[in-house]
Structure 1
Amino acid sequence: MSFADKTALELGRAFESGKADPREVTEEFLERASLMDPGRRIYVRLLERRARAEAEAASERAERGLRRHALDGVPLSWKDLFDVAGEATAGGSLALKSRMPAQDAEVLARATRLGSVALGKTTMTELAFSGLGINPKFGTPANPHDEKIERVPGGSSAGAGVSVAAGLAPAAIGTDTGGSVRIPAAWNGLVGLKTTAGRLPLTGTVPLSPTFDTVGPLAKDVEDANALLALLEGREARQLHAADLSRATFWLPSGGVVWESVEPPIRSALDNAVRRLVRAGARIVEHPLPELDEVHTLAWDPKASRLVAEAFAQWGEMLAANEDLIYRPVFDRVMAGERLMAGDLVRGDLKRREINTRYLAATAGADAVILSTVAIAPPPIAELEAGGEAYGRANRLALRNTTIGNQLGLAAITLPCGIDDKGLPIGLMLQGAPHTEEKLLTLALSLERLLK
């Protein structure tokens, strides 16, 4: 039996029934990763010793009927900004390659206590500061959905998305500051959950912007995402029930920046999904939502970016001392924070709060807002790796729709809704109010079944 195509929960159920052993499953994934990723473009490193020890313990618990969680014994990949005790955690930057934490990140510690297996640490955009996933210093994993052209994987949780899509992990844990879970999930045909800021602890993570950083899972389906959220919170997963779509209301923004430059196959896939929702009895409110445009303008205002300011505060000194080690597009974006003024940032914060208040009031009657996760298909790596104007434009289009949710402090989930004419996955995003992850998961489960 091959386990590469199984969902995380399917593996957990196989362990529970005795049809599979965590040791056997872990060995298969370790072997696949070694054979299929010899250049370490997907995994920075495999955690063989730890993974085998954790799988051994999970196997013993399963034999004794003492499994701790539905995902006990399931191997997971972890983005290389989660601290792993005794293992270098560089956040995708050569300047941090000797950073050696003494203990696990809090979410990894929680997952470990409930029995999951830490398979390895995945590659990422340097310091998590790009939506494309390009990292010439550590290696850029190619999107597995195009066998002819190496395309970007999405970032910054690049290796996380590819590890699952390529069958090198059942599920992955990443972070999302402006779309870094949802973009690689969308471009790799996965489900990605952006949690509300503060719901999951950031303790033991390499930070980019503490105001906007969030932790979230990348999974093969919605039920796995639900179970992974529970794992990261240190609790057993609640059974997920599909929402009654005939009682659901979705806001579909008409016009505005979120539809600019959306590629026709992506727009067509979303139109098809909306038609299916209508046939299922859902209410679709198609109406302008100007707050989306306003927060987009604020997020990309070079004089008022809190994200850039916090990135510079965290890493400006380190980057200035190691300029030759840093990927140029990341260096330039971080160092732009040196020119920011406190008064402009405070005005930006006040404006963001005011937009947030209006947005939540406007959408209070809707269960979720529907958007395309990403406006474009993943471009070829070779066209963007050198940086410059092409890189900047692609990066902004990749991040544009997802960044809105981070700026407004919302919860969001992306799920596959089709493929384009090149066979590349398309993602549909449901955006909800803060702390509505459970509602979004039930809606996404219904939509997932509808689209299948």
Structure 2
Amino acid sequence: MDFAAMTALALGRAFEKGEADPRDATEDFLARAQEQDPDRRIYVSLLEARARAEAGAASARAKRGLRRHALDGVPISWKDLYDVAATAGGSLALKTRVPERDAEVLARATRMGAVALGKTTMTELAFSGLGINPKFGTPANPHDRKIERAPGGSSAGAGVSVAAGLAAAAIGTDTGGSVRIPAAWNGLVGLKTTAGRLPLTGTVPLSPTFDTVGPLARNVEDAAALLALLEGRSARPVAPFDLSRAVFWLPEGGIAWENCEPQIVSALDAAIRRLVKAGVRIAEHPLPELDEIHALAWDPAASRLVADAYAQWGSMLSANEELIYRPVFERVMAGEKLKAGDLVRADLKRKEISTRYAAVTAGVDAVLMPTVAIAPPPIAELEPGGEAYGRANRMALRNTTIGNQLGACAITLPCGQDDNGLPIGLMLQGAPHTEEKILSLALAVENLLA
């Protein structure tokens, strides 16, 4: 049985029927990781003893008919900001940090029977959308065998672990796109949950205002099952939305499409034509709130994200400057100059824009956008930092950050490839706390595009 080619739910069903054993699947993934990732650019560490013990317990439960969840026994990777064993958040300055207990969502998943395979690499302190981390190693996007390209971040190893067949699914976080960007660039489904839906207890923080927990998966049904797992509840089947009743807002002009690469535009155009043919109603109008929230998010004098990051890590970075990747150091330390009055005004403005956006889009099921406006650039062009890094980072994060700033939930799913075989993502952005609806919509779209 080719475990690496199976979805997480398919693995779970095989365990349920006695057609496969969680121990064999776990050993297979561990062996693949040892062979394909010898320099630990994808996995910071493999939790081999723990994974084998959890797989053995899952095997015993399956034989007695006592499985706890549809994903009981399924091997999953965890971003290196979830507390378990040593947890460094991608930073050498935190490399000796050993937490007292597992992160809450990881503990929930463990209680439901999931197998924790290992900790995946990430952008330092989760502060970038590119996935570049010269200090720990940057995993190469597996979709280009000739040029090592950026994996997307900050959940870099998370995306590559699934796309390369080294985990059945992965758990990342999303503060400005850190689940959706690596999912889009690795041909996966990535779910950005509403802030507060899943607990952040036991995670290395970047911005308590915007940090969210989310899964990266092979398909929408897996993403839904992973959401249930992280909530500590049984997975319920997702029913695809009736697309003949769906209404999507397609922002006309504006920031979502500005400087978007032509092949990405073509892929989304083709996907939208198929949606229209299936009966979807498309409202194609300007949505100026997207441009307003974008401008606010990137205002260097009023960034709540930068302020949060500096409050968390400014002192640590000042004391360990030589250990910190320069682009991350500069972004965090920019928070030192921010003023409280400007931040409060920005918070009030963000709330006002979000309220208007919610009212304007109340009559549609989701807003459609390209997940990322650019294809993953070569790693070698980005690692030195500087202008090329800053420009690519901003373009990678541009569309996804909008959802975090608006408090929305969102999902990305594959909708094609460019001429280099690099995946292209389509994003559906929904209202806060409508994850079940956005998953239902995404499943219908996934079925149509497949």
TM range (shorter): over 0.9
The CA distance in 1 between the partners of 2:426 and 2:195, in whole Å, is: 21
Which residue number in structure 2 is paired with residue 261 of structure 1? 259
1:14 deviation in Å? 0.1
1:257 deviation in Å? 1.1
Which residue number in structure 2 is paired with residue 412 of structure 1? 410
Which residue number in structure 1 is paired with residue 26 of structure 2? 26
Within-5 A mapping of 1:343-422: 343-422=341-420
1:30 deviation in Å? 0.2
* AA in 1 matched with 2:36: M
Tell me if 1:214 matches 2:212.
Answer: yes
The match for 1:423 among 421, 424, 446 is 421
* AA in 1 matched with 2:154: S
Which residue number in structure 1 is paired with residue 142 of structure 2? 144
* AA in 1 matched with 2:46: L
Tell me if 1:273 matches 2:271.
Answer: yes
The CA distance in 2 between the partners of 1:57 and 1:88, in whole Å, is: 23
The CA distance in 1 between the partners of 2:34 and 2:267, in whole Å, is: 36
Which residue number in structure 1 is paired with residue 247 of structure 2? 249
Q: Deviations along 1:236-267, whole A, 9 cap, x unmatched?
A: 01111000000000000000011111001100
* AA in 1 matched with 2:419: D
Tell me if 1:126 matches 2:124.
Answer: yes
Which residue number in structure 1 is paired with residue 52 of structure 2? 52
The CA distance in 2 between the partners of 1:290 and 1:82, in whole Å, is: 36
* AA in 1 matched with 2:44: V
* AA in 2 matched with 1:100: V
* AA in 2 matched with 1:47: L
Runs of 5+ consecutive residues of structure 1 not aligned to the other structure: none
The CA distance in 1 between the partners of 2:409 and 2:270, in whole Å, is: 24
The CA distance in 1 between the partners of 2:443 and 2:311, in whole Å, is: 40
* AA in 1 matched with 2:12: G
The CA distance in 2 between the partners of 1:88 and 1:180, in whole Å, is: 21
The CA distance in 2 between the partners of 1:390 and 1:26, in whole Å, is: 40
Q: Deviations along 1:21-64, whole A, 9 cap, x unmatched?
A: 00000000000000000000000000000000000000000000
Within-5 A mapping of 1:34-433: 34-84=34-84, 87-433=85-431
Which secondary structure does the structure 1 equivalent of 2:413 belong to? strand
Which secondary structure does the structure 2 equivalent of 1:250 belong to? strand
* AA in 1 matched with 2:404: N
Which residue number in structure 2 is paired with residue 9 of structure 1? 9
The CA distance in 1 between the partners of 2:281 and 2:258, in whole Å, is: 24
Q: Deviations along 1:148-184, whole A, 9 cap, x unmatched?
A: 0000000000000000000000100000000000000
Q: Deviations along 1:354-394, whole A, 9 cap, x unmatched?
A: 00010000000000000000000000000110000000000
* AA in 1 matched with 2:282: I
The CA distance in 2 between the partners of 1:138 and 1:112, in whole Å, is: 27
The CA distance in 1 between the partners of 2:274 and 2:2, in whole Å, is: 34
The two structures, once aligned, show a CA RMSD in angstroms of 0.3
1:2 deviation in Å? 1.9
The CA distance in 2 between the partners of 1:5 and 1:226, in whole Å, is: 19
How many residue pairs match? The answer is 450
* AA in 2 matched with 1:140: T
Q: Deviations along 1:91-125, whole A, 9 cap, x unmatched?
A: 00000001000100000000000000000000000
The CA distance in 2 between the partners of 1:364 and 1:271, in whole Å, is: 24
Given the two structures, how large is their TM-score scaled by the length of structure 2? 1.00
The CA distance in 2 between the partners of 1:171 and 1:157, in whole Å, is: 12
Which secondary structure does the structure 1 equivalent of 2:411 belong to? strand
* AA in 2 matched with 1:300: W
1:191 deviation in Å? 0.0
Which secondary structure does the structure 2 equivalent of 1:4 belong to? helix
Which secondary structure does the structure 1 equivalent of 2:3 belong to? coil
* AA in 2 matched with 1:7: T
* AA in 2 matched with 1:59: S
Which secondary structure does the structure 1 equivalent of 2:442 belong to? helix
Runs of 5+ consecutive residues of structure 2 not aligned to the other structure: none
The CA distance in 2 between the partners of 1:325 and 1:261, in whole Å, is: 35
Given the two structures, how large is their TM-score scaled by the length of structure 1? 0.99
The CA distance in 2 between the partners of 1:261 and 1:131, in whole Å, is: 17
1:130 deviation in Å? 0.1
After the TM superposition, which parts of structure 1 deviate over 6 Å for at least 4 consecutive aligned residues?
A: none
